[in-house]
Amino acid sequence: MDPVSLLVNRSMKNFLATRKLLKLVEIMNKNLKIIIKKEKKQKYPYLKSNNEEIMLHAKIYAQSKKYKTKLDKGDLEINKNKTQKIIKKEEVIKKNNFSEMNIHPRTKRQGSFSDLNSASKKTKDNEITDDDLTNDDEVSNLSIDTENESDEIKLKTTTNYQQQQTQQQRDNTLERPKRKYAKRKGTIVGNQEENQEHENRRIKKAKPQSIKEQKRILEENEKEEIRSTVRNEKELIDEEEIDVEVNRRLRIRNMERKNNIPLYIVTNKNKQQYRQDFNHNESTADHKSDEKSTQHRSQLDDIQLDLNTNHTNTLERNHELELKYNRDKYSVVIHGNNIEDYSANIFDRLDELKRCVGVLNPGMILPIVDKDTEVMSLKVTVNNYHDYLKLIGKWPTNAFKSGVNVEPLPYNLTVVISNVDKDINITSSDTRIRQTEKVYGLTNFERIRTRDNKPTTKLKAQAKSISDYIEVLKKGIYLGITSKRHHVTPNIIYPNVCKKCGNLSHREKECNNEACCLKCGKKQHTKSECEAYCTNCTGPHPCNSELCHKIVEKTYSLNKYTLEILLGESIIKKKEEILKVPRSILDEQTLPLNADDKNLEKYIENYISKRMTDIDIKINSIKEANNLNKKEIDEIKNDLGSVKKDLVDVKNDLGNLNGKLDGTNLKIDQLNRNQNETKAGIDELKAILLATAKGNIPNKQ
């Protein structure tokens, strides 16, 4: 960095030193001019400021200090002429110095120039510099203290010039390694052919995307486009339904495109070809980007058309099935902000329904309140499909004052999924259950339980449409929680008889009749004399048996709509297949009996009755033996009770003996203590006697 820029940068750090630095700059410029005139043999570089704008403001600031003016925008305009002269003077000195040093003013490199041109330019420019030297004299009078520092600046300039020359030589020597390094970085350096080779080498080293990444990106893009088209159709509002429809369309697309558009898989055989294709595509990316985009768009348009056609086909299929299999009733729920205003008067609700969609005679229009949100809605039922289409169609924006949202309620098309492990927990929040619901169009998965609330191996779910119901029954489903394919059957509703009287028309909670036997229908009888008799059809069978034609007819009536679909779509061949014990109707197979046939029938009945009596006798003998065994067991139990009592008495006696033994032990311990005390007393007496005997012996002497 040259000394001028160093001084200027230092002046920016400390404002107090700015004046001194500016004075040094002006004196340095003056001394350089004098040196150039006197010593032409020496070559000094032109000291150019790296920041001319800062120098300009600094010079204006110095002049403003001289003329005692402030540095602002007005001062810049006032001193404009003076600053322009200073800049012209510096440019002239710059050109003269570069011409003397044989350096180009723009490239700053040495080269051969004509002396005539340089001399002519020098004479012309010197005329300007001689006129403007008076300004430099005025500026040099600003400071006298800094004149002694000019010699130091001269030394600095010479050393800096030498450093610049050495640096230029180093740059010339290190120019080729820098170019090679720049080429490795990928910048445009050197010849065009070298750059092209470098680009080809870089393309060869580039790794293509993995197959999983390609699949993921393709699926995400197609999902987003399918979602946008579904939303533009404005047939589905709920986000869950939109997700279901998107997954359905994507699944259909995968099934249809599986054989036509296979994914490109990179293997060892086609790896080289894939690299060549990749390099070719990279080199011609700009040229073929439009073609690829158009092809991709055309493919997506074709896929979208297929999806739209499939969606329309499913809607048409559902429409045809609804017309083919008429329900008893169609239900919807109407949500709105002002439903409560119509809850008091049913005629207001009917008039508003007629005004909005033209439905004249609904079967029900009932206000209902959600338990969780406490928001009121309307449940409307109609008895034909055309009124149902009106209800789920477009409503006016002012329907029920502020507009409504219609939620169609699916019919009770329940299916049973078998062979699901009992230990698997079934919850609606499970993502695998949600995925199954979206793919197959099912809702409300739950496990079937027994009357004792024990889990079974069966699940039940509800289909959203007839087409989903039929497809699931024909093909089955795959569950993510088991990773298996499961067989699906329709949920058949079977009638139950009253457990008190055996009647089909009510349950035991509502029964007002007397209790009777469900096998024979009698109130008082013995089990051996009980014969099967149906109280519903008077047939020779129990009242809860499927041999009763009334139970069979009620089963058919309860599952009328399901039977129509199963028979119409050839899922079952005969309606008897829905019974617990499939059988053919006996009335169609029976023929009128002759006299011999009647005798044979009587003979068979007598034979069966004899066999039944023998079986009853055997059963009675077995029961008697069981009774005897029970009596013996009771006697053994009584004996065991007496033995238990004896054992208790023995335990009590042993306890008493233990107490007595404890008392004797205490007495023995007391005797031992007394004995020890007597021994101690005897020993003391012996000692006393010995002492007295020894005392008496000397007295005698």
Q: pLDDT, tens digit, for every residue of 451-462?
A: 888 999 999 999
**Of 670, 566, 42, 59, nearest to 67 (Cα)?**
59
C-alpha span between 393 and 387 (Å, rounded): 10
CATH tag, 328-409: 3.30.70
Q: Which residues contact 470 (CB under 8 A, 6 or more apart)?
A: 321, 565, 569, 571
- Per-residue pLDDT at 472: 92
Contact at 8 Å (CB) between 513 and 503? yes
pLDDT at 287: 52
Kindly report the average pLDDT of the chain as a whole number: 72
CA distance 515 to 525: 13
- Give the pLDDT mean for 212-227: 82
DSSP letters of 557-607?
HHTHHHHHHHHHTTS-SSGGGGSSS----HHHH-----HHHHHHHHHHHHH
In eight-state DSSP terms, residue 144 is S
Phi, psi of 536 (to 5 degrees): -90, -45
Note the pLDDT of residue 195: 62
What integer pLDDT is reported at residue 488 of this predicted model? 93
DSSP-derived letter for residue 537 is: T
Q: What is 414-490's CATH number?
A: 3.30.70.330
**Taking the model in full, what pTM does it have?**
0.43
Confidence of residue 447 (pLDDT cuts 50, 70, 90): very high
* 564: pLDDT strictly greater than 70: yes
107-136 pLDDT, tens digit per residue, is: 444 444 444 444 444 444 444 444 444 444
The pLDDT tens digits of the residues spanning 624-673 come to 888 888 888 888 888 888 888 888 888 888 888 888 888 888 888 888 88
CA distance 79 to 352: 86
Q: Considering only 400-414, 487-501, 526-540, 581-595, which range has the smallest mean pLDDT?
A: 581-595
- Between CA 29 and CA 242 the distance in angstroms is 80
Q: Tell me the backbone φ, ψ of residue 457, rounded to 5 degrees.
A: -90, 20
Q: Residue 73: pLDDT above 60?
A: no
- Eight-state DSSP code of residue 260: T
CB 419 within 8 A of CB 487: yes
The tokens for 220 are 């995400």
CB 548 within 8 A of CB 537: yes
**Does residue 522 surpass a pLDDT of 80?**
no
Token pair listed for 211: 């197959």
Q: Please indicate whether the domains covering 328-409 and 414-490 agree at the CATH topology level.
A: yes
Q: Are 485 and 474 in contact (CB under 8 A)?
A: no
pLDDT score for 653: 87
Mapped onto helix, strand or coil, the DSSP state of residue 157 is: helix
* Rg of the chain on CA atoms, in Å: 57
Q: Angle, to 10 degrees, between the axis of helix 560-568 and the axis of helix 549-558? A: 80
pLDDT in tens, 175-184: 444 444 443 4
In the predicted structure, residue 483 carries a pLDDT above the cut 60: yes
Q: Considering only 74-88, 135-149, 551-565, which range has the smallest mean pLDDT?
A: 135-149
Beta bridge partners of 119: none
pLDDT band at 49, cuts 50/70/90?
very low
Residue 555: is it exposed, middle or buried by C-beta count within 10 angstroms (0-12/13-18/19+)? buried
User: For residue 389, which of 364, 408, 404 has the smallest C-alpha distance?
Assistant: 408
Q: How many other C-beta atoms are found inside a 10 Å radius of the C-beta of residue 546?
A: 17
Specify the pairing of strand 364-369 against strand 455-463. unpaired
| Across 307-316, 341-350, 402-411, 433-442, least confident range | 307-316
Paired with 366 in beta bridges are 379
More confident: 402 or 144: 402
Percent of the chain with pLDDT over 90: 10
Spatial neighbors of 48 by CB under 8 A, at least 6 apart, are 2, 4, 94
The whole-number pLDDT of residue 667 equals 86
SS3 for 504?
coil
Q: What is the pLDDT of residue 366?
A: 92
DSSP category for residue 510: G
Helix axes 239-257, 285-324, angle to 10 degrees: 110
Query: Which of the pair, 355 or 94, is modelled with greater confidence?
Result: 355
Report the pLDDT averaged over residues 219-232.
86
pLDDT at residue 300, as a whole number: 54
Token readout for 273 is 């070809």
Which residue type does 553 have?
E
Interatomic CA distance for residues 450 and 190, integer angstroms: 86
pLDDT at 91: 63
What CA–CA distance (Å, rounded) separates 69 from 47?
Answer: 28
Q: What is the DSSP letter of 514?
A: P
Question: Which pLDDT score is estimated for 152?
Answer: 52
Q: What confidence category does residue 533 fall into, taking pLDDT thresholds of 50, 70 and 90?
A: confident
Q: Where are the domains of the chain?
A: 3-173, 176-205, 211-323, 328-409, 414-490, 508-589, 602-691
* Nearest-angstrom CA–CA distance, 304 and 401: 38
Angle between helices 431-440 and 239-257 (to 10 degrees): 70
More confident site: 4 or 118: 4
pLDDT band at 197 (very low <50, low <70, confident <90, very high): low
Residue with tokens 């699940």: 459
Of the listed ranges 103-107, 501-505, 691-695, the least confidently predicted one is 103-107
- Cα dihedral angle (583, 586, 591, 596), rounded to 10 degrees? 90
pLDDT category, 269, cuts 50, 70, 90?
very low
The pLDDT of residue 176 is: 45
The end-to-end CA distance of the chain, in Å, is 142
Please, which pLDDT band fits residue 187 given cuts at 50, 70 and 90? very low
For the chain, give the longest Cα–Cα distance: 175
Choose the weakest-confidence range: 30-44, 135-149, 508-522. Answer: 135-149
- Predicted local distance difference test score (pLDDT) of residue 312: 66
**For the packed helices 52-66 and 3-13, what is the interaxial angle rounded to 10 degrees?**
70
